[in-house]
């Protein structure tokens, strides 16, 4: 089944309640996806010339302080590490590639969940209320965020297979549905230099968008190309550094509801997740049309 949610504030610096509102939306989606929960937040920005990376360790007792010391000896750490049990957010100056090379060689136990100037990605097995609490979601601020509750169908129930998937800087994708040509597409995308960490179908869709964006397409163009190149059924919600986009497959197999007020745009698989938001009662509510990209950008 799966449930996806997205919340995008149109104006202002980070909204303090973004995290708690996103947690409320995710909680309403727990019945659609009891296997795992994930969310991506677009919060404080890395300083100029630096990037943020969300790393995930096999267990909550991982010695992040030791890793911080180790990385500091080779790379300029722009801010102290922020630890959240099995996940940690590092802010590092310079180019990400040498850092990834170092991690791949010396720390293969770590997964890279999110990379960019603003994005942070947290995902784990468990119900939304538990996962939100584990990563302190209710206290997080931000301008926009996406979330997902998973009912695994095409691959195993593990943290790595949870959504959101991020295969490009500040890009993330959550998906309700199931793709059927992802295995063949993964092979083609690997040849184009896209890296995959799992056999998950949604990760392929995320990689496909990353590839199209690298080719110079806009997000809208990349999503429109996806209508031709992806086979399956889907409602996608995509987050970018300053934006948010929605796409449903041409038959609109999976549900989607959009809502908009003067302050925010929200998307969810079911209206009851949107009903939790302030001002929802007066929001304009509609179902997005199939095969149509809806997108919003902050100025």
Partner 1 sequence: MVNPNGAHAIAVGLTVPVHVEIKGHVGYYCAGMNAAAEIVVDGHAGTGLAENIMSGSVRVRGNAAQSAAASGRGGLVVIEGDASARCGISMKGVTIVVGGSVGHMSAFMGHAGTLVVRGDAGHDLGDSIYEADIFVAGKVASLGADCVEKEMTPADIDRVAALLGCAQIVADTGRFRRYGSARRLYNFHIDHAAEY
Which chain residues interact with partner 1 by CB under 8 A?
Answer: 251-252, 255, 257, 270-276, 281, 285-287, 290
Quick one: 78 or 253, whose CB is closer to partner 1? 253
Quick one: 131 or 277, whose CB is closer to partner 1? 277
What token pair was written down for 231?
Answer: 């086979």
Tell the smallest beta-carbon distance from residue 252 to partner 1 (Å).
5
Residue with tokens 């202002």: 12
Tell the smallest beta-carbon distance from residue 162 to partner 1 (Å).
25
Tell the smallest beta-carbon distance from residue 107 to partner 1 (Å).
44
Where residue 131 falls (left for φ over 0; alpha for ψ -120 to 50; beta otherwise) is alpha
Tell the smallest beta-carbon distance from residue 271 to partner 1 (Å).
4
Name residues whose C-beta falls within 8 Å of residue 187's C-beta, 6 or more positions apart in sequence. Answer: none
CB atoms within 10 A of CB 193: 10
Strand, coil or helix: 39: strand
Among residues 128, 121, 145, 118, the alpha carbon closest in space to that of 238 is found at 145
β-strand partners of 296: 244
Quick one: 24 or 168, whose CB is closer to partner 1? 24
Q: Can you tell me the distance from the alpha carbon of 5 to that of 80, in angstroms, rounded to the nearest whole number?
A: 30
From the candidates 2, 172, 253, 289, give the one annotated as an active-site residue.
2
Using CA of residue 249, residue 252, residue 254, residue 257, what is the dihedral sign?
Answer: positive
Quick one: 115 or 273, whose CB is closer to partner 1? 273
Tell the smallest beta-carbon distance from residue 28 to partner 1 (Å).
8
Interhelix angle 219-229/201-214, nearest 10 degrees: 130
**What CA–CA distances, in Å, run from 35 to 55, 150, 161, 163, 237?**
21, 5, 11, 11, 20
CB 77 within 8 A of CB 201: no
Quick one: 92 or 256, whose CB is closer to partner 1? 256
Active site annotation includes 289 = no
Residues forming the active site = 2
């Amino acid at each position: 089944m799966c449930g996806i949610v997205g919340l995008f504030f149109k104006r202002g610096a980070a909204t303090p309640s973004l995290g708690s509102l996103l947690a409320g939306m995710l909680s309403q989606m727990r019945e659609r996806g009891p296997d795992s929960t994930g969310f991506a937040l677009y919060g404080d920005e890395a300083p100029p010339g630096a990037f943020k990376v969300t790393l995930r360790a096999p267990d909550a007792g991982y010695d992040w302080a030791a890793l911080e010391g180790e990385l500091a000896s080779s790379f300029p750490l722009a801010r102290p590490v922020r630890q959240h049990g099995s996940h940690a957010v590092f802010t590092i100056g310079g180019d990400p590639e040498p850092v990834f090379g170092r991690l791949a060689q010396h720390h293969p136990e770590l997964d890279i969940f999110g990379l960019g100037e603003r994005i942070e990605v947290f995902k784990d097995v468990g119900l939304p209320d538990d996962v939100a609490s584990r990563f302190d979601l209710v206290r997080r601020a931000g301008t926009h965020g996406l979330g997902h509750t998973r009912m695994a169908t095409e691959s195993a129930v593990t943290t790595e297979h949870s959504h959101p998937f991020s295969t490009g800087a500040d890009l993330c994708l959550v998906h309700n549905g199931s793709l059927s040509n992802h295995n063949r597409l993964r092979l083609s995308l690997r040849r184009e230099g896209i890296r995959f960490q799992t056999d998950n179908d949604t990760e392929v869709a995320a990689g496909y968008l990353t590839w199209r964006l690298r080719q110079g397409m806009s997000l809208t163009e990349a999503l429109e190309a996806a209508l031709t190149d992806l086979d399956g059924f889907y409602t996608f919600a995509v987050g970018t550094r300053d934006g948010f986009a929605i796409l449903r497959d041409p038959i609109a197999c999976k549900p989607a509801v959009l809502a908009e007020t003067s302050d925010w745009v929200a998307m969810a698989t079911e209206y009851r997740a949107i009903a939790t938001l302030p001002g929802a009662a007066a929001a304009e509510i509609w179902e997005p049309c199939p095969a149509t990209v809806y997108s919003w950008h902050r100025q």
